[in-house]
Amino acid sequence: MTSRLPFIAALLCLAACASPPRPAPPALQPLGLIELSFSAGGLSSAHLLPLGPQDLTEQPRGLQLRPLSVAVFNTGTRNVDGVRYISATYRVRNADADGTASPTPRSNLTLIPVSAGDTLAGTPYRAVTTFAGGSVAPAVVRSVLPGHGLRFDPLRAQPVLNPGGEDFQVFTETEIAPGSLRSGSGGSLSYADLGVQTVFPYGYVVRNVAGGRTLSASPAADQFDGQVTLSVRVPLQADDAGQTPTEGTRRDPWAFRVVLLAVQDSATRVTQSPDEQTDNALVTQRAAAESATQVTVLPGSSYAGPVPARCVNQVRTAGLAGDPGATYLIKGVCP
């Protein structure tokens, strides 16, 4: 009998000393589909879209957003390297789109572009038009790329991060794949449940203007604690005698209608965009200010700060995942 004691003790030790279970991966909980409209002329709006055929009555219905401002500037030279930058900022209230206040606080609210219904050329844009209201060519629509909010610095003669507008967030394809998004009760959701063709692996995170990422519960009727900036860039169209109209200025994208999925992210993280890879202090400071647990970097980054980082090697902006013809903000190799 005594000879079995060491064996039993060993088994007990193995059970007690086993590694603790890994924490569950971050989850994205959909809240509703939203269409945002904005133009280089400063106009913007927001409204809720039907979420999909699935009965998701357990989930809140969207977010209440109110347009705040639009900023536009151009860089470079048309016909050479000209680019237009547009940033649309919205105030956000912790409430359903119909104004019903959320009874619970919510954190890391994120607007993720999706392709749904009649969006154009495999993009999240339902419409992209010129100043005169004409349609923009599909190839040009696919050239619209996301990023942090930027402003033009006349001293450097180049775009720089606009403080308070660094809301761009990158996800992995796995994090936004069918079945990875979770309902309020924890069940997995398909793209059909959401009424979308695809979800793109990037978005824009809502921040509390007083600091942090949490919006308080039961806000007053006009209490918009949150703010989010959607930023895009698009090449200035070249003058071309073979196109109609021939002047590039008359073919430049001017107004945008984009479809987004509002989600609540269980993780607090920040993303270093390609525009800030020359100064790692920017994302380091932002991660500290947000108490982030993860920094997402892209190929070309040399970030080695105190907050753990993960590198995402590609960011799809048009087309389906795995599609050879998909368009990317960046597609490279992580170290």
* Sequential DSSP letters for 39-107: ETTS-EEEEEE---SS--TTS----EEEEEEEEEEEES-TTTT-EEEEEEEEEEESB-TTSPBPSS-EE
Average pLDDT value for residue range 157-163? 95
Q: Is residue 99 part of a domain?
A: yes
- Read off the pLDDT of each residue in 59-80 and give the average, rounded to a whole number: 90
- Domain span at 29: 23-267
Residue 3 belongs to a domain: no
Q: Is residue 23 over pLDDT 70?
A: no
Element (H or E) spanning 287, and its range?
A: helix 280-289
pLDDT of residue 7: 47
Residue 207 is assigned to a structural domain of this protein: yes
DSSP string, 146-165: EES-EEEETTTTEEEE-TT-
> Per the domain annotation, does 78 fall within a domain?
yes
Q: How confident is the model at residue 55 (pLDDT cuts 50, 70, 90)?
A: very low
Determine, yes or no, domain membership for 18. Answer: no
Question: In total, how many domains does the chain have?
Answer: 1
User: Residue 9: in which H helix or E strand, if any?
Assistant: helix 5-17
Q: Is residue 238 part of a domain?
A: yes
Q: What is the pLDDT of residues 114-149, one digit of tens each?
A: 999 899 999 999 999 999 999 999 999 999 999 999
Task: Report the pLDDT value the prediction gives residue 52, as an integer from 0 to 100.
Answer: 57
Q: What is the mean pLDDT of the chain?
A: 91
- Band of the pLDDT at 56, cuts 50, 70, 90? very low
Cis peptide upstream of residue 154 (ω within 30 degrees of 0) = no
Please report whether residue 311 resides in a domain.
no
Does residue 12 surpass a pLDDT of 60?
no
Closest CA to 258 of 128, 108, 160: 128
Q: Tell whether 53 is covered by a domain.
A: yes
- Confidence category of residue 335, pLDDT binned at 50, 70, 90: confident
Task: Quickly state the pLDDT bin for 307 (edges 50, 70, 90).
Answer: very high
